[in-house]
Structure 1
Amino acid sequence: MIPLVDIRPWRTGSSTDSTATAREVDDALRTSGFMMLTGHGVSASLGDDIRSAARRFFALPHETKARYAAPVYGRGWVGQGRETNSFYGESTDNTPTDLKESYTIGRPLRTGNQDIDREWFAENIWPAEVPELQPLCERYAADMHALYLDLLRICAAALNLPTDWFVTRSLASPHTFNINRYPPLTATGTPAPGQYRIAPHTDWGILTLLDRQPGYGGLEVQMADDTWVPAPYLDGALTINIGDLLARWTGDRWRSTRHRVLPPQDEAPDEDLVSLIMFCETDVDTVVTPIPGVGHAKYPPVRSADYLLERGSAATVA
């Protein structure tokens, strides 16, 4: 299943405690690719405040939200029908689009390289109708980025690498912060065959940090035997999983696991959920190739930016 990991011993304990935490993370990412994380220090009330502000934005008329429209992987509002996250290589022109809408925010960083900054660190767009959203999201994203760097240190220790091994390759990395709204059945109507709030997929990058709400139409994870199980929920815990690039880096020692968000269910026709998701990456010019002696799989080198852009294009509905 999905293990529960408390990282407080890493932050406050002895070297023995830190080693034990790193071992727990390694076990979780080898067997599941997912973990439930406690001791992370990110305020739950801050997430609640973001959800409240985001709901005010999502409740605006379509024509108002359209002023902030953005492409997948852009900055701003991605309306329902713009994205399909079917497993890479399996989607077709007939694949139903995902039953969600999103507000997308990026990392406010300037690297000094104009091409990189234009592509990966574009200015965020903030809705004038909900001014409180910007300071809430900026604080939350900063806290989650600090957590990401700590998780990278734990991941390095879990692989017997220097603790700054991943961090030094991710100091100028982008991230994508999605506020995903999953509308209720009363708004979407009956889903098409094979349609989901988010279709079965793997994530693309390094680590995904998810603050989610439980529900009938919630997160499911595919196990090693190909069965699908509901992801456990623990109030205050974050759901963490790795993406394709980290799986490649570790030669598949760690699993980039397929997961999905179920469509709205008849049992809860008014269920309206909001998830806060941080997709964390390495530097865009980092060439990812399997670390010697870590895993078993052989992958050709791939530049992080090239892989992410290819996946983003595949998920976009024209």
Structure 2
Amino acid sequence: MSVSSNTLFRPIKLVFKNFFSNRMPVGASIRFNQRSTYIWPTKVGYLLLAIFLLMMIGSTNYQNNLAFLLTFLLVGIGLVCIVFTFRNLQGIEFALSANEETYAGQPISLWLSLRSYSGREHYSIGVGTNYDNLLFVNVPVTGYSKVKLDVGVAQRGWYPVPRLLASSQFPFGWMRTWAYFGLDKSILVYPQPLEPVLSSRTSGEDDNEEGNKSKGVDDLYGLKPYQEGEPLSRVDWKAYARERGMFVREFTDYQSRQLCFCWDDFPGEEVEKRLSYLTYMVTEAANQQLSYSMKLPNQYFEFDDGEEHCKKCLKALALYGKQQDDKKG
């Protein structure tokens, strides 16, 4: 029976992973110390080490003083390289910058800021989740350097920042220093916005919640079945392509411009579909600077507008049915 290499070395990998995790710094901002930073030769470093040994053997065998001098000179350069490579990763502060709004199903991007507090410049600092996706940047003496990392796709709710890696091979690439670190923050992922079939038809207890309506061309009010003679420019071709029938967009002018988005507007739909529909309607209303309310089971948001109101509604949709952690954010 053949055993794969991954299965064979899995216990060893687990031991190393636990070792690095126990020594990994975690916090809102990270500064490395000697305990959390490691250094090891690269492939080029191993090759040079073998060459140094051969040069030492040759120098000893032939008793050649110039060969000894050259060998010790190269060894001295190698020792200095170890010091410079190790210090290049010391004296940098890593922190998470403000991130863009993220919706489920979209790649999550992290903006990291790197700042030097050592009073010197740091060169060729690689940051990523592993060695395959490192992004390299120079950190100036003053100011910040920013790196954008793509860390995958997540579902709605709180997304914890994964373990990150910082590495450098400056100046000659003979040695590699690295350190793992974790940022004690999470990113709020909103539901994926989906346009409902009756995309902007809102609900309420009476017509006054929606405002006085009159037919016009300003805002999309809903869809109605197509009747012969109506302009084809108003046909919802997306719905027709999905074989949902032929519908015509109906527009309206709002005088009070107040909308109410209700959970019960979509009976029979799954929970995630309802959340996606409400997310779409909230973001569209916010983009048009409309006043709106939102009603969820056991939760109601009064009529309001603005960015803060939009974020409150989106946060409620993102955390609907999930256990909330007061420490997140």
**Alignment TM-score, normalising by the size of structure 1:** 0.26
Which has the higher relative contact order, 1 or 2, with Cα contacts under 8 A spaced 6 or more apart? 1
Specify the structure having the higher radius of gyration (Cα). Answer: 2
Give the strand-richer structure, 1 or 2.
2
TM-score w.r.t. structure 2 length? Answer: 0.25
